[in-house]
Chain A
Amino acid sequence: MKKITKYVLVDILRNKIVIGYTIFLFLISLSVFNLEDSSSKGLLSLLNIILIIVPLVSVIFSTIYIYNSAEFIELLVSQPLKRKQLWASLFTGLAGSLTFSFFIGIGIPVLLYAASATGYIMIIMGLLLTVIFVAIALLAAVIARDKAKGIGFAIFLWLYFSLLFDGLILFILFQFQEYPLEKFMVVAAALNPIDLSRIMVLLKMDTSALMGYTGAVFRDFFGSNTGFIIAVAILFSWVVTVFWLSLRRFQKKDL
């Protein structure tokens, strides 16, 4: 397990796209912190990167990587290895290298320029989102046999979590305007890791006061230390559930 993880890690960290991604994140972070007049504004600009670009790159890169390693996987499956181990190694390798990129690209600048509670939460959320979207990519790649279909599916999932889901929420909010929807919103946030991360970061920023009554419900639920632990646990369960689903399919997959 460790050995394969090592091979995958080394392979990905040498990958030009991953190196480019790291540099891209690093330059964006630096320019954001140097151009904006306050570090909290810089953090707000970075939030968009973390919520949109990081999941997109994680999911697309991982899907393509899995398809490109089809031979490698095939070779290893015929070897005395557990499929579970092989899949877990691929996941660990991908998640490890991409979180490493994220940490270098965004984590370190944030620690240098905005080492605040908001900054820490943003780093934690970015790392968790990276891992979740690697898991989502694995699921997409194991479901679709065809490479084009798999990448399409992965992009669709990204689109769903970053855009369509929110559209759906907006639709429901207006359809059921007369009903108290605060609790529903809390549940809805848990169903979308991007929304949950965004809300966790915003709750730490002073903009949280803008969120009114619903925001207060969220603050009661997620704002405390226990709430933070609950949110992180929810995000972790996203990782575990999605990875477990992909693993179950991979174990029955014909190669």
Chain B
Amino acid sequence: MKNIFYILAGLLITGITSHARTIRVGKQFQFHSIGQAIAAAVNGDTVLVENGLYREKNIVIGKSIVLIGNNFPVLDGEHQYEIISIKANYVTVKGFKIVHSGVSSLVDIAAIRIYGCHDVTISGNILEDTFFGIYSQSSFNCLIENNKLTATAKTEQESGNGIHCWKSDSLQIIGNNITGHRDGIYFEFVTNSVIWRNESHKNMRYGLHFMFSNNDSYISNVFRNNGAGVSVMFTHGVKMFNNYFEENWGDASYGIFLKEISDSYIIGNKFLRNTSGIFMEGASRILVEKNEFKDNGWAMKIQASCLDNVITKNNFEGNTFDVGTNGSLVLNSFDRNYWDKYDGYDLNKDKVGDIPYRPVSLYSMIVEKNPAAMMLYRSFMTSLLDRSEKILPTLTPENLKDNFPLMKPLHL
């Protein structure tokens, strides 16, 4: 409802200012500098910037204007400045190539920063070698779409986040491509927002870093080969649908790291080739359904602090360990999944195995207790241990089992 109001308001304003001018910037035009053009503009004007190199230190947009680059004019921050600061509502920034923002360990210098505004659109820009990419602070109802962010910093200290959102609401982050930053997308105290069809890869820390951000959705994103995968913490009401979590290999790397999450949904995602597909700590009332876990080290690691989670109708294939846990008491349900390691039988042909499957192996329990035991991975010893435990379970948690394991993988 709120959104519709803003859209109407936006339409109204453009309607009122229908006599809006277009101010052109370029060598052959009246204005050679974007700053001068903006100074000359009024609310509702369009500033059209021609191709060229612009070194204007910090460009502050304090009016509701549309700033458009024609054929990607380059805005160069000379490794010193925040390049565009947006301090007005209804601003659009589109079609620029923004390079070399300043780098600082004290201030979060961004290529484009939104200062407590609403209805800002940042669309179709190319950001290269920036510290923070696009920074939204105390803003709402903004759209960040189709930008390409590439950073090249070597250490976490020298790099900022790609799309950094703080204390915002109703944001739409759509179709961006983010690489080489510290965190690809960073959400802290951001609510009611959607992250859709982004690709976040090869970032130093997390592809998506997500804290205290309730009631958000992220849908159909690809998080690939990030330093530590995706981290979602201290939040409730998150919907994670149809995302790809791929190739997050490393000592402390996860498809998703969930910490203190409740009442959320993880549905239809693909977890491929991660050290741990999902790592859960203090998670409760989460529905994990129709996901594909393939070729991971651990498909899921569920700490004893998790309860009332439902893991059902997922495919577990080619994982080194299906489930790892550190406790003996398990209060989660694992029924009706497909496990490729299941070797039970189905006499009554109802496509459900007649004996339960225990996804936790003895060896994975040992490793959980004593990580150094991982050195015995794939040794004769450990495979014998697992065999004997399967025949006569003694140490693995009694009630961590799939009572109705599926005989065939689901089509996901």
Contacts and interface: CB of A to CB of B under 8 A. Distances in A.
Interface of A: 41, 44, 47-48, 51-52, 162-163, 166-167, 169-170, 173-174, 177, 181-182, 185, 189, 194-195, 198-199, 202, 206-207, 209-216, 218
Given A209-B249, A211-B375, A213-B251, A170 B381 contact: yes
Given A207-B297, A209-B297, A210-B297, A166 B380 contact: yes
Interface in B291-337: 297-298, 318, 320
A198 B381 CA distance: 13
B167 to A, nearest CB: 36
Closest 7 CB pairs of A and B: A166-B381, A210-B297, A214-B372, A211-B374, A209-B249, A212-B371, A209-B275
Contact of B370 (A48, A51, A174, A210): A174
Contacts of B366: 170
Interface in B240-260: 249-251, 253
B372 A185 contact: yes
A189 B375 contact: yes
B249 A206 contact: yes
A163 B382 CA distance: 9
Contacts of B373: 170, 173
A51 B380 CA distance: 8
B6 interface: no
B378 A166 contact: no
9 contacts: A48-B383, A166-B381, A185-B372, A189-B375, A199-B375, A206-B273, A209-B251, A210-B297, A212-B371
A213 B372 CA distance: 8
A215 B381 contact: no
A48 to B, nearest CB: 7
Contact of B377 (A169, A206, A210): A210
A160 to B, nearest CB: 12
Interface string B344-374: 0000000000000000000000100111111
A163 B297 contact: no
Contacts of B275: 209-210
A166 B249 contact: no
B250 A209 contact: yes
A207 B372 contact: no
B376 interface: yes
Given A170-B366, A173-B372, A215-B251, A202 B377 contact: yes
A191 to B, nearest CB: 13
Contacts of B253: 209
Given A52-B380, A170-B376, A214 B371 contact: yes
Nearest to A189: B375
A202 B372 CA distance: 15
Given A207-B297, A212-B371, A213-B371, A195 B379 contact: yes
Which residue of A169, A170, A206 has the most chain B CB atoms within 10 A of its CB atom?
A170
A166 B376 contact: yes
B375 A210 contact: no
Contacts of B379: 51, 162, 166, 194-195, 198
Nearest to B370: A173
Contacts of A169: 375-376
Contact of A163 (B318, B375, B377, B381): B381
Given A211-B374, A214-B371, A163 B380 contact: yes
A177 B375 contact: no
A207 to B, nearest CB: 7
Nearest to B379: A166
A173 B377 CA distance: 14
B13 interface: no
Given A181-B372, A210-B297, A212-B371, A48 B249 contact: no
B225 to A, nearest CB: 12
A182 B378 CA distance: 18
Nearest to B363: A170
